[in-house]
Chain A
Amino acid sequence: KNQVEQSPQSLIILEGKNCTLQCNYTVSPFSNLRWYKQDTGRGPVSLTIMTFSENTKSNGRYTATLDADTKQSSLHITASQLSDSASYICVVESGAGSYQLTFGKGTKLSVIP
């Protein structure tokens, strides 16, 4: 069964600090891995998409890494801001031919002043 596990479940950091969120997956065959940011009460917004051949991708202060061999990904947030408070969701797409996305439960990040 395809699964996406994220850690930690929740995280509280001080404004200005860096943090790293983890994602482990057991999805096969692998097509791509996505990170989304979901503000409370809103729909998710795409941050990065990485295919098998990509090791890292950045979007402003967000940097995602992918190790397809160990099936792990991380999302690093640099110089956190209060507006970074949200849930960060890891999603893995299977390349099985038919549409299949497996969603993680997300990491709830709280940035405090």
Chain B
Amino acid sequence: QVQFVQSGAEVKKPGASVKVSCKASGYNFDGYAIYWVRQAPGHKLEWMAWIHCGNGNTRYSAKSQGRLTITSDTSANTVYLELASLRSEDTGVYFCARDAAGRGDSWGQGTPVTVSS
């Protein structure tokens, strides 16, 4: 069965970087894309970045582009999201999801990231 296991909670200071991971299992990793979604406390879901795990193509939201890097490691069936120059407003829960013909049909459990001095 399709499953995603995300890395654990992170606490970072403003200006630092954070890298969260999403390990996939139960399907052909190369055949799908994965995207990341963020939810700040009390806020709506915010789409952030996308990567096709087969060809490495990427897309980023305009809001975070420049600070975001999404990568995939096909040998480890894992996708990573790195966010640089962290600000307090980057605090939230980060979710990965499989992109199946446009829809997010399977989601990770979420990784809480706290940015605080």
Question: Is chain B a partner of chain A in the same complex?
Answer: no
Listed in ascending order, the chain A residues whose CB lies under 8 Å from chain B are: none
Listed in ascending order, the chain B residues whose CB lies under 8 Å from chain A are: none
